[in-house]
Amino acid sequence: MMPTQIFRSDLGNLEKICHFVTIYAKEAGLNERQVYAVQLAVDEAATNIIEHGYRCSGHGDVQITCEPEADGLRVILHDHAPPFDPDEIPEPVTDVPLEDLKPRGLGIFLMRKMMDEVTYEFDAEEGNTLTLVKRK
Amino acid sequence: MDILHTEHKRCTVIKTNGRIDGSNAPDLGKSLKEIMEKGVYNIVFDMTDVNFMASAGWWVLIDTQKNCKPRGEVVLACVDKSIQDSLNLVGMGSYFKIFPDLITAVGSF
């Protein structure tokens, strides 16, 4: 059985979420840099679910499953917040003067840049499923 | 989140430790705003003991940088390699001067 843990949708749980995925990132044999990539990507994904999905209500759940694989780690985040497809968020424009820099989409962009695979699925009954894969 | 302020002749150094994420980035923002309200716009963020920085933290620093310039600026000192890599990866490293040690960062003002 894959290690799964359920966290309340509270930003105060981000550190616990990070601790949980770190255990399995290390167990999967990822190096220090790859472990940080997983920590950051999962943190950004969970923050989005809690802030934008559940609107920081604290009444939702984020279920996280870690699947160590032969060539890396697969992390699956599951929630029942309204649909949130990261593909719909445009990449932030970062080659502009400081005053024109807009605070939107950086978390999603970081998540994509840090991971080898990011896939999103929505099912009316099952909710949102976001799968992140980091290879060695 | 503990945030220490040290006032120098030409700048203020702020220092915190551990993680900066969506749960505590607003505290950092509040602290930086208080410094700017005192008329201090030359700020060194000593990141020696910061081991994780999510985008929420970067936006606090970007926002502070926007408020400080052109009167002054925020510079970073002792940034963890992984944190710096993530910043560069999304093309935001160019918005900050990054110094390898605190003395050079303070001396840059």
Instruction: Summarize pLDDT for A63-87 with one digit per residue, the tens.
Output: 999 999 999 999 999 999 998 888 8
Token digits of residue B31: 């602290």
With contact defined as beta carbons under 8 Å apart, do A106 and B55 qualify? yes
* Mean pLDDT score across all residues of chain B: 95
pTM for this one?
A: 0.94
What pLDDT shows up at residue A1?
A: 66
Using a CB–CB cut-off of 8 Å, the residues of B that contact A are: 19, 21-23, 52, 54-56, 58-59, 62-63, 65-66, 69, 81-82, 85-86, 89-92, 95
* Nearest CB neighbour to A113, from listed B23, B65, B89: B89
* Mean pLDDT score across all residues of chain A: 92
Cβ–Cβ gap A15/B22 under 8 Å: no
Report how far residue A121's alpha carbon sits from residue A69's, in angstroms, rounded to the nearest whole number.
21
pLDDT tens per residue, range A31-73: 999 999 999 999 999 999 999 889 877 789 999 999 999 999 9
Mean pLDDT confidence for B2-19: 96
pLDDT tens per residue, range B38-62: 999 999 999 999 999 999 999 999 9
Three-state SS at A83:
coil
